[in-house]
Structure 1
Amino acid sequence: MASGVNLSQWVHIPLGTTLLIYGIVITIMNQILIGHFSRWRFFSNLLFVLPFSYFVEWFTYLWDWVGVPDASLPIRIILDLIGLATVAAAVSIYQRANILMHPNDDLSYILRFKYLKGSAIWGQWLSYSPPVIIMVISYLATGHLSAVGFGTFWALATQGGFMQWSDAHVFKRLKHHVNFG
């Protein structure tokens, strides 16, 4: 999300639209990585990213209205930790359910199971490469970064590990259905 915020501010396009375009680009990249066109994967990624992109923008306004950006640092860190752990568990669940996935989560899934022998940690780290590159380019173009803080670094460092832990401990009966068709 931090890369989306920075890209949005750099190109002066609303956050929801920026995230949608970003999602479309990652959807296409996913098709390239699996090595063929998968109609289901392509359209399910788009079906997920369309409302999600605009919900993120709406929730940004909600969190601003509630006052989260003005909360004390310890409160924001606690919210980051809870939010990121919850997101990791949720991604673990819906990757194993394998119904619809956000293109970024599908990217980490493809990397994890097609190229990295099932490593959630490496899959997540590599899937963060495009956002990190976008943040670097945004910084070089504008001279500043927004929405980069503790949560960004915590996610980069721990999200894959939390996902891997969740695979083993949250809804243990769900299993990965590795399918690149």
Structure 2
Amino acid sequence: MKAEVATNYRTAAPTPRATKRTISMSKAVAFFILSLVFNSAGNVLTLVTSAKIHPSFLGAAYWSAAEANIGTAFHWNLFWAFLIIGFLTAALNAVLIHHWNWKRIAGNMIFMVPFSALIQVFQDFFDGKYPALFRGLPVANSFGMDLFYVVLNFIGVAFIAVAISIYQRVNLVLHPADDLMQILRFRYFKGNATKAMWASYIPPTILAIIAIIVTQQFSNFGLGTLFAFVAQGSITGIADKWVFPKLKHQALDVGKDISTEEG
């Protein structure tokens, strides 16, 4: 069946109505691995650069900030924080598409295990725990270093957005948060990536509030978080068109009644 699309001018990308796989499995896996590395590296860049500036004003990407804070509140390391919140988000996705799909949830968890592991690896790398390879990012001690970390933080956000664009289009397995964003985008927001991204930030906002109540601290949120909130969805929409532009959404499934009009 030939895919039908409606142009989404706000995100500069087509909105799929129904899609099938048009690329080989080897290409899909290669795209997926690339996006997984970009996503985990980008998430850690936002966390580490935020921690290197004192007093902290930078903040991490929105989901990363909330998950890191929940991890602190309940004494989980990043691996377990990302994994547990990922499973809960996968359950929310099942509610939104009105269908409990064990295959889909298993895919979410398959994504979460290497992703969470890479998060820990990149955090150790940027913190200098592999000195033979890299001695770690130093603490900022000048305006120039502060500015450099701001730029690096924003680059991390862009990495995340581009990675989301790639593996959402590949659609082998998805991070539960990005599966949530895709469900919202094509089922509830008529293909608009920006609106869907904003709506997908409701769960991490709730998590952040819980963490603040438990720890009595407000950390990992700041300028970088604001940039992610405002720009990440738009960057994802732009990347749909400009990063691997021939890669179209594969086997899209967001439940019945996929919207085809722009939101």
* TM-score category, normalised to shorter length: over 0.9
2:190 aligned counterpart, secondary structure: coil
Q: Is the 8 A contact 2:168 2:182 kept in 1?
A: yes
Determine which of 135, 147, 151 is the counterpart of 2:224.
151
Which position in structure 2 is the counterpart of 1:36? Answer: 99
Bigger relative CO (Cα 8 Å, ≥ 6 apart): 2
Is 2:91 the counterpart of 1:23?
no
Q: Is the 8 A contact 1:5 1:146 kept in 2?
A: no
Distance 1:104 1:58 in 2: 21
Which position in structure 2 is the counterpart of 1:58? Answer: 121
1:101 aligned counterpart, secondary structure: coil
Q: Whose radius of gyration is greater, 1 or 2?
A: 2
Q: Is the 8 A contact 1:63 1:69 kept in 2?
A: no
Distance 1:10 1:54 in 2: 20
Which deviates more, 157-166 or 144-153? 144-153
Is 2:176 the counterpart of 1:103?
yes
Is 2:139 the counterpart of 1:70?
yes
Task: Give the deviation of 1:24 after TM superposition.
Answer: 0.6
TM-score (norm: length of structure 2): 0.65
Task: State the AA in 1 paired with 2:96.
Answer: L
Task: Give the deviation of 1:126 after TM superposition.
Answer: 1.0
Percent identical: 38
Which position in structure 2 is the counterpart of 1:137? Answer: 210
1:52 aligned counterpart, secondary structure: helix
Distance 2:167 2:118 in 1: 18
Distance change in 2, residues 1:145/1:64 (3 Å): farther
Determine which of 150, 162, 165 is the counterpart of 2:238.
165
1:144 aligned counterpart, secondary structure: coil
Task: Give the deviation of 1:69 after TM superposition.
Answer: 6.1
Is 2:249 the counterpart of 1:176?
yes
Task: Give the deviation of 1:96 after TM superposition.
Answer: 0.9
For structure 1, which runs of at least 5 residues remain unmatched after alignment? none
Task: State the AA in 1 paired with 2:89.
Answer: I
TM-score (norm: length of structure 1): 0.92
Which position in structure 2 is the counterpart of 1:121? Answer: 194
Which position in structure 2 is the counterpart of 1:6? Answer: 69
Which position in structure 1 is the counterpart of 2:44? Answer: none
Distance change in 2, residues 1:43/1:17 (3 Å): same
- State the superposition RMSD in angstroms: 1.6
Task: State the AA in 1 paired with 2:137.
Answer: V
Task: State the AA in 2 paired with 1:68.
Answer: L
Q: Which has the higher helix share?
A: 1
Which position in structure 1 is the counterpart of 2:33? Answer: none
- In the comparison of the two structures, how many residue pairs are matched? 181
